[in-house]
Amino acid sequence: MAALAYTGGKREINYYFSVRSAKVLALGAVLLLTACHAASRRYRGADTCEYLLSSGRFLGEKVWQPHSCMMHKYKNSEAKNCLVDKHVVFIGDSRIRQLFYAFIKLINPQVKEEGNKHGNIPFEDKSASIKVDFLWYPEVNGSMRQRIKSWTEWSIKIHNGSNEALAQYKINITSVAPLLEKLAKTSDVYWVLQDPVYEDMLSESRKMITNEKIDAYNEAAVRILNSSSRNSKAKVKVFSVSKLIAQETIMKSTDGLHLPESSRDTNAMILMNVYCNKIMKPIDGSCCQPQPPLTLIQKLAFCFFTLSIIGYLIISLIHRNNYRKSKSCTDLESGEEKKPAISTPNVSTLEILLHSFCKLGLIMTYFYLCDRANLFMKENKFYTHSSFFIPIVYILVLGVFYTENTKETKVLNREQTDEWKGWMQLVILIYHISGASTFLPVYMHIRVLVAAYLFQTGYGHFSYFWIKGDFGVYRVCQVLFRLNFLVVVLCIVMDRPYQFYYFVPLVTVWFMIIYATLAIWPQIVQKKANGKIIFFIYFLLMLLPCLFLQGAFEKIFSFWPLSMCFELNGNVYEWWFRWKLDRYVVFHGMLFAFIYLALQKRQMISEGKGDPLFSNRVSNVLLFISVLSFLAYSIWASSCKNKTECNELHPSVSVVQILAFILIRNIPGYVRSVYSSFFAWFGKISLELFICQYHIWLAADTKGILVLIPGYPMFNVLVSTFIFVCVAHEISQITNDLAQIVVPKDNSTLLKRLLCVAGFFSGLHLFSAMQDQSRH
């Protein structure tokens, strides 16, 4: 009865919620959210600098999250590059002096807080020609006015918190404001509002400083400053975010007046972001960054997709009109209308092609709006254990709920490998959005999942070539197209290098190595295996030194045209780093496939439904060893203290947990006979999910999180995830449709297409060179 209800529940869900209806709902959500964000930007303004200076919240205790944008954490080298030949001045009291010290420590962390506390303090970095000065002016008065005028904060305590002092403060601010606004026309001027105090901790000599009086002074400053300015670019920028930060952290103050060091550092980092983001343009610093201009290649891509949409609409309208005319026919003798047999209009190859590019163009527009235009909001990641492990439990429950019987019970059958890819991909997605890379044990286990993908690459491609012996160009082109189509489009639309999407170059190169290893004479396949295995082993041994030594590796991939694909930021270091992390696991996958197929051919394993893979005794021993190995790796990974050292060991030991998982999953007959259709569904689009997450689920090229619905983090993740999965599934279908057209089976036609592809990439290289020249 329970099983019947379980099956009935799944059918009910699938009946009322199909993939097609989900995509329609996702499209509606995208259109609605786009309209809402566009209206919000028009009404509230699109200047993220205003948000950075005035609003935000704490993620945890120390991570400040500005409203709607991401804040970059500047290193001292970046700060120096930004401020080279600049002169920065801080004017004010002891709290501004603290901000001054926090700021110069971003330039030189070795600076100590020394000198006259009630006097001017100079700082100079001669290597970068940077000057930063602090000028002691605890109140706004004539002396401050003269100082500012020569360039063409105040203290409640000094005046004992009197109302007369507030009135005089307003007069002084009024006299200083025009000079500040004049200075703001040629320089960046920031007025830091006074932070609240923790009144219970104030000493007797400071008891007259109350938050009520501070608010009165701040309101006067905000009202008077910029009152005469009509030019938004000349405005004195009010630094009010420090007040929000102080409200959260002033309780940790040592004297009730001065902020704790972490809060001062946050304020200094905000100042650095306000000024430097537009100069340095960091990927993870979206605050104060203007939208990047469209490149020549992006403009051409926009024109291509626009023409595809127009062409598809014209052809579909013509076909629809012709179909309607032939749909109904009238019986002239009886005068009755005949209905012909149910049929659909003939869909031409051109229409399928244009339809695919039409959908792809709309999807790429969404990609661009999410991660290049300043339409949707972005936020920094913040890791907590609950943000990673609770979603893992959720997907595990869903995966178990959708358990079904497999069509075949072979080791690593198609349904099982799809399931494996699916749950691994979901775990990797949760890992990325939660920022779990900061937690080393999770990082090391995720590295095993990436290695397992590459293990499957070696296992799957070796098995295909070994069994079928199909080394035709058609097979190679189909695989390369399916792996690389989306990435090539994203490189064009999102203006990113090929190596940026590192996993696709990785599996592409490994596929070509596997192909070359088996296809080169004397073509090592199952039918010709007699006496050729020695050659196979010799070839691998010959290949290893060339590929795994860093010097040789960098020389190979630094040659043109390989350098065009594998360089990132002018070198191939990132490519080498990604390669060496899993440099053995593909060969482990090939070796496992060879051993498994040899055992299968000699009938040394039992793959019947419900049967253990080996005899009961052998199966139990292997299961015990596998469980111990699996746990041993997890214990080692959880005890890692240094990421660099663990990464060095990872290539050699990752296969332990992979093989342990395979044996645990396949030795028991019952376990091998079932699979999770939920995980398998995601496994079929795992590549698209991995690539699409860069721009329409995460943000700032995976550095942050896309915010479609601000203020509701959980709801935002649900909505953005729903749209993201629908888009990935649609792209998978588009790729499959285009693969049938672009990669035909006829060799002569395929050769012509390959020449067209070569011409396309030559043109792309030419336009890219023109772009680089115009940038420099």
Would residue 677 show up in a list of annotated catalytic residues for this protein? no
Query: Which residue in 258, 355, 461, 650 is the catalytic one?
Result: 258
SS3 track for 367-416: HHHHHCCCCCEEEECCCCHHHHHHHHHHHHHHHHHCEEECCCCCCCCHHH
Whether residue 644 contacts residue 620, with contact meaning beta carbons closer than 8 Å, is answered with: no
List the one residue out of 725, 735, 580 whose CA is nearest residue 654: 580
Quick one: tokens of 754?
Answer: 């390959």
Dihedral sign, CA of 589, 594, 599, 605? Answer: positive
Task: Kindly state the helix (H) or strand (E) to which residue 87 belongs, with its residue range.
Answer: strand 87-92
Residue 221, C-beta contacts closer than 8 angstroms, at least 6 positions apart: 173, 191, 193, 238
Between CA 641 and CA 627 the distance in angstroms is 24
Token readout for 693 is: 């997450």
CA-wise closest residue to 106 among 93, 125, 134:
125
For 582-712, where are the alpha helices, taking DSSP H only? Answer: 585-601, 616-638, 643-666, 669-672, 677-683, 686-696
Q: Compute φ and ψ for 709, nearest 5 degrees.
A: -125, 95
DSSP H or E segment with residue 417: helix 414-434
72 a catalytic residue: no
Cα–Cα distances in angstroms (integers) from residue 152 to residues 113, 148, 184, in the given order: 30, 7, 10
Q: What stretches of 602-642 show up as alpha helix (H) in DSSP?
A: 616-638
Contact between 199 and 210 (Cβ < 8 Å): yes
**Is residue 41 within a helix (H) or strand (E), and if so which, with residue range?**
helix 19-44
Instruction: Judge whether 177 and 162 are in contact, CB under 8 Å.
Output: no
Strands (E), 164-252: 190-192, 237-239
Catalytic residue among 77, 94, 638, 639: 94
Distance CA 652, CA 556 (A): 24
Residue 228 is a catalytic residue: no
Q: Is the dihedral of CA 305, 309, 310, 316 positive or negative?
A: positive
User: Which residue is catalytic, options 255, 470, 746, 772?
Assistant: 255
Beta strand pairing status for 704-707 and 377-380?
Answer: antiparallel
Closest C-alpha to 274, from 223, 238, 247: 238
**Among candidates 768, 756, 737, 734, which has minimal Cα distance to 364?**
734
Distances (CA, A) of 17 to 3, 21, 25, 28, 191: 21, 6, 10, 15, 55
Sole residue written with tokens 């420090």: 242
Q: 190 forms bridges with which residues in the sheet?
A: 237
**Residue whose C-alpha is closest to residue 683's, from 445, 430, 480, 426:** 426
Strands 329-330 and 337-338 turn out to be antiparallel
Cα–Cα nearest to 156, from 140, 144, 143: 140
Residues 6+ apart with CB under 8 A from 584: 651, 652, 655
For residue 56, what are the β-bridge partners? Answer: 66
Angle between helix 473-493 and 713-742 (nearest 10)? 140
Nearest partner of 412 among 663, 595, 687, judged by Cα: 663
Helices 349-371, 713-742: crossing angle, 10 deg rounding: 150
For 433, the token pair is 């959005």
The letter for the amino acid at 555 is K
Q: How many CA atoms lie within 13 A of 88 on its CB side?
A: 24
Strand partners, 90: 134
Q: Catalytic residue numbers? A: 94, 255, 258
